[in-house]
A and B are shown apart, each in its own frame.
Chain A
Amino acid sequence: MCLAIPSEVLEIHGDEGTVEWQGTKVYANFSLLDNVSLGDYVLLHAGFAIQKYQPEEAEELMELWRKVSEGAD
């Protein structure tokens, strides 16, 4: 039930707007976040953007792996 989908912000009208995920455009409520801009990615849950989503390269993700493997954290 705690599913949240990373979606791109396409339109903003006040605290509401439209986001897109893999070609599907849906209504989103942005009231739970500050400073949402067009082109941002947000996590959409039950029609609400609950957090900003920062797309990262897998290599960036692996940085954590390297740090832990090397005991550098």
Chain B
Amino acid sequence: MKGRIEDYRDPRLTDQLLRDIHDVAGSASSRTISLMEVCGTHTMAIARYGIRSLLPDNLKLLSGPGCPVCVTPAGYVDTAISLSRNPDVTVVTFGDLMRVPGSDSSLAVAKAAGADIRVAYSPSYALELARNQPERKVVFLAIGFETTSPSLAWTLVQAKESRLSNLSFLCACKLIPPALHALASSDEVKIDGLLCPGHVSTIIGTAPYEQLARQYGIPCVVAGFEPVDVLLSVLLLCRRIARGEAKVDIEYSRSVPKEGNPKALKLLGQVFEPADSAWRGLGTIPDSGLEIRSGLSDHDAKTVFGVDIPLGKDNPACRCGDVLRGVISPPECPLFRTACNPLTPVGACMVSGEGACAAFYKYCELEHKKGTQPHGN
């Protein structure tokens, strides 16, 4: 295959890119350059490859709210657990959500206690289950960003067309651009450039970032996930910042066309409508979520079961919210590596394979050996 993965991990290229980054950032050494990576897969890639430890001291990478599991409020998990206690209900979920703490428990604990909760790789599994078990009320836990919501939309349309009245969706899908606007307009954290999420962008394209760049003067790069991708994207942002250019670049061009995926976007518009949505750590952001359109309410679990999704309550000592806004780095949370660890996570960011706390737990020794502060104010 052309474009082998090894090419994106080539030490010769990464070495040259790092030298260029040091040159550009070095010429701005009087100031700190803060870049936010918005995607959890970037967070994990940056930690796994020890990229922070290789960057100049005045260049900071902040982790953003780009992990759907992490930003889903505890109240959603509470509602899902409550539904799973209905003896007629089978809950189907992506595996990432199983161990995320609700206010008092998790889906994993509910399953261990006997609830019928299944983990699925694809939402299409819920269709199969609903067809094969017409006596069960199947509820799919529909969370995710724009990468995932088109497949949920397709599945919902299939349920409607197949008259599968026993399949519904508990929807808490979220949209990335409104969250970026909320972060960019906040004075809490200074963001000089954005590493934009590669796979969300395969769907939404670059138009939302063009608006962000114009409105806030922040350059954006849609980045891939290998070391060369991340370093090249960091270099692009540093150059844009040095020149005072708020432009949008696509580094991950092998996957992201400028227009995104129009077919998926059209489907999203047919099935969902934007609605205010609560994000763990960011609060309620206008029009940042997706609700199932009223014409499809037969498949909306909130309507079918007459439930609402409360905010829920987090452990007051947990600082996932500050981590998700880039205000602190995970080791600055008092629970990190003590009460909160991958075996007994207190906050969602420690549970998810793409959570910033899990990434730091697994890989941050490398950062500390270099004596660098991974990020923070």
For A51, give its contact among B10, B148, B256 (CB under 8 Å).
B256
- What is the interface residue range for chain B against chain A? 35 or more
User: B171 within 8 Å of A by Cβ?
Assistant: no
Please name the residue on chain B nearest to A26 by beta carbon: B121
The 4 closest A-B pairs by CB, nearest first: A47-B122, A58-B7, A55-B3, A51-B202
Whether the Cβ atoms of B2 and A43 lie closer than 8 Å is no
For B254, give its contact among A32, A56, A69 (CB under 8 Å).
A56
User: A24 within 8 Å of B by Cβ?
Assistant: no
CA distance A50 to B69 in the complex (A): 20
Whether the Cβ atoms of B3 and A56 lie closer than 8 Å is yes
Whether the Cβ atoms of B254 and A54 lie closer than 8 Å is yes
With A48-B154, A58-B3 in contact, do A33 and B261 touch (Cβ < 8 Å)?
yes
Q: Tell me the B residues contacting A by CB distance below 8 Å.
A: 1-3, 7-8, 10, 13, 17, 20, 39-41, 66-69, 94, 96, 121-125, 144-145, 147-148, 150-151, 154, 197, 199-200, 202-203, 228, 232, 235-236, 239, 243, 249, 251, 253-257, 261, 263-264, 267, 352, 354
- What is the interface residue range for chain A against chain B? 20 to 34
Segment 22-73 of A: residues with Cβ below 8 Å from B: 29, 31-34, 41, 43, 45-48, 50-51, 53-58, 61-62, 64-65, 68-69, 71, 73
Whether the Cβ atoms of A61 and B232 lie closer than 8 Å is yes
For B1, give its contact among A33, A34, A55, A73 (CB under 8 Å).
A55
Count of chain A to chain B residue pairs whose CB atoms are closer than 8 Å in the complex: 134
CA distance A64 to B202 in the complex (A): 19
Please name the residue on chain A nearest to B247 by beta carbon: A73
Please name the residue on chain A nearest to B239 by beta carbon: A68
Whether the Cβ atoms of A47 and B255 lie closer than 8 Å is no
User: A4 within 8 Å of B by Cβ?
Assistant: yes
Please name the residue on chain A nearest to B197 by beta carbon: A2
Besides A8-B1, A58-B3, 11 more A-B contacts (Cβ < 8 Å) are A2-B354, A4-B147, A32-B150, A47-B125, A48-B151, A50-B261, A50-B264, A51-B261, A61-B253, A65-B235, A68-B239
**Residue of B1, B66, B199 with most partner-chain A CB within 10 A:** B199
CA distance A45 to B123 in the complex (A): 11
Q: Tell me the A residues contacting B by CB distance below 8 Å.
A: 1-4, 6, 8, 29, 31-34, 41, 43, 45-48, 50-51, 53-58, 61-62, 64-65, 68-69, 71, 73
Whether the Cβ atoms of A57 and B41 lie closer than 8 Å is no
Whether the Cβ atoms of B96 and A43 lie closer than 8 Å is no
CA distance A24 to B228 in the complex (A): 25
For B232, give its contact among A3, A48, A51, A65 (CB under 8 Å).
A65
* Nearest CB in chain A: distance from B368 CB, A: 27
Whether the Cβ atoms of A3 and B151 lie closer than 8 Å is no
Please name the residue on chain A nearest to B2 by beta carbon: A55
With A2-B147, A50-B199, A62-B13 in contact, do A57 and B7 touch (Cβ < 8 Å)?
yes
Whether the Cβ atoms of B147 and A45 lie closer than 8 Å is yes
Whether the Cβ atoms of B261 and A32 lie closer than 8 Å is yes
Whether the Cβ atoms of A31 and B147 lie closer than 8 Å is no
Q: What are the residues of chain A within 8 A of B122 when measuring CB–CB?
A: 29, 46-48
Whether the Cβ atoms of B151 and A32 lie closer than 8 Å is yes
CA distance A71 to B96 in the complex (A): 43
Whether the Cβ atoms of B147 and A47 lie closer than 8 Å is no
CA distance A1 to B200 in the complex (A): 11
Whether the Cβ atoms of A51 and B255 lie closer than 8 Å is yes
**Residue of B66, B69, B255, B352 with most partner-chain A CB within 10 A:** B255
CA distance A32 to B263 in the complex (A): 6
CA distance A33 to B261 in the complex (A): 8
Whether the Cβ atoms of A2 and B20 lie closer than 8 Å is no
Whether the Cβ atoms of B255 and A53 lie closer than 8 Å is yes
Q: What are the residues of chain A within 8 A of B200 when measuring CB–CB?
A: 2
Q: What are the residues of chain B within 8 A of A57 when measuring CB–CB?
A: 2-3, 7
